Amino acid sequence: MQVQDKNTIIILIVLCAFESTRFEISKKVIKSINDEVNNLKNYKIFILENGSTYNLRNSDIPFSCTLIRLNKNVGYWSAIYYFLDYLKMNQEAGSYIYIVESDNYHYNMNRLNHARLFLIDNPNINSVRTQEFIIKFKELFSKESFLKFLGNRRSRVSLINAVTGEKAYFKKDKSTDSLYISNLHAKLPSLHRIEALRKVFVNLSRYSSFTEWNFFREMQNLSDKIGIVDYGCYFTLSQYRNRKIIPSGSWIKEHKLHDMQYLPTRKDKIREEELRSIIITKHRITV
């Protein structure tokens, strides 16, 4: 249901495909979202193709959205920086942005409705993690636990705040179903307040280069708590076990990424000069 108001969730799907495997994965992700998106209220979808040589056709997109194409790969972080500026320049309605990476396979997206209510009820929190994670069985998802070898291998997370070094706690939110408050750091593929994320990216643009940790710290400076959706609503298709099949910045060495025309995501910079010279095409897809 695409009814825009200040509580609209802007769903941004960021794609970058220079070979068929990543391209086919992105189409699976789009299908998973199409299977679930009717369970959402007040949303608007954007697909951003970041310099891809494998481009989606209209027939590959089963829902109404705005498709934006950049003629050059400016990197994951710069693409999001561009899009946040795009939202401001075009005065798009909405207070929340949900970032979807090209390998984030979705299920039970109705939980985003609860995540939005959580942010409305908790004005001092800016971000909600939505990756697959079960509070009751958290040790089975933990990178630090010996139980990780018995538990979920596709959605492992650290249960230590990367900025503060604190062990994670989880406190049930009384007003919202399936939501917990935690002291973990924020992650980029999550639901965020747009204004908070914009502030963080403006700060990152001042770095000559930065890592994911700098993003964690900038988010932490704005709020020392986040929300967690119990059971989550996505998992990642590119994993360690299939790293030789699906290219991923998490598992492939940087020089190999460059050979494939991809740019690193763990350490990067905002390419403002390149953004000023790229060619951008945009069109509306109506289904």
SS (H, E, C) 122-147: CCCCCEEECECCCHHHHHHCECCCHH
The torsion defined by the Cα of 84, 22, 37 and 159, in degrees rounded to 10, comes to: -70
> What is the spatial distance between Cα 123 and Cα 139, in angstroms, rounded to a whole number?
29
What would the mean pLDDT of 63-90 be, rounded to a whole number? 96
Domain residue spans of the chain: 9-285
> What is the spatial distance between Cα 3 and Cα 7, in angstroms, rounded to a whole number?
10
The torsion defined by the Cα of 152, 153, 156 and 159, in degrees rounded to 10, comes to: 60
pLDDT band at 247 (very low <50, low <70, confident <90, very high): low
Q: Is the pLDDT of residue 131 over 70?
A: yes
The domain 9-285 is classified under which CATH number: 3.40.1260.10, 3.40.50.2300, 3.40.50.1820, 3.90.550.10? Answer: 3.90.550.10
Q: What is the pLDDT of residue 266?
A: 81
What would the mean pLDDT of 198-222 be, rounded to a whole number? 98
What would the mean pLDDT of 265-284 be, rounded to a whole number? 92
- Strand ranges for 96-189 from DSSP E: 96-101, 104-106, 127-129, 170-172, 179-182
What would the mean pLDDT of 51-80 be, rounded to a whole number? 95
Copy the structure tokens of residue 279.
Answer: 């060619």
Q: Does residue 151 contact residue 140 with C-beta atoms inside 8 Å?
A: yes
Name 24's bridge partners: none
Convert the pLDDT of each residue in 8-18 to its tens digit: 999 999 999 98
> What is the spatial distance between Cα 45 and Cα 41, in angstroms, rounded to a whole number?
12
Q: Is the pLDDT of residue 182 over 80?
A: yes
Residue 282 phi, psi dihedral angles, 5° rounding: -145, 135
Buried b (16+ CB within 10 A) or exposed e, 90-112: eebebbbbbbbbbbbbbbbbebb
Distance of CA 131 to the CA centre of its chain: 9
Q: What is the pLDDT of residue 176?
A: 85
The CA radius of gyration of the chain, in Å to the nearest whole number, is 18
Q: Does residue 18 contact residue 53 with C-beta atoms inside 8 Å?
A: yes
Q: Is the pLDDT of residue 244 over 70?
A: no
Look up the pTM and report it: 0.92
pLDDT band at 2 (very low <50, low <70, confident <90, very high): low
Q: What is the pLDDT of residue 177?
A: 79
Q: Is the pLDDT of residue 147 over 90?
A: no
Those residues whose C-beta lies under 8 Å from the C-beta of residue 78, and which sit 6 or more positions away, are: 268, 269, 270, 271, 272, 274, 275
Q: Is the pLDDT of residue 119 over 60?
A: yes
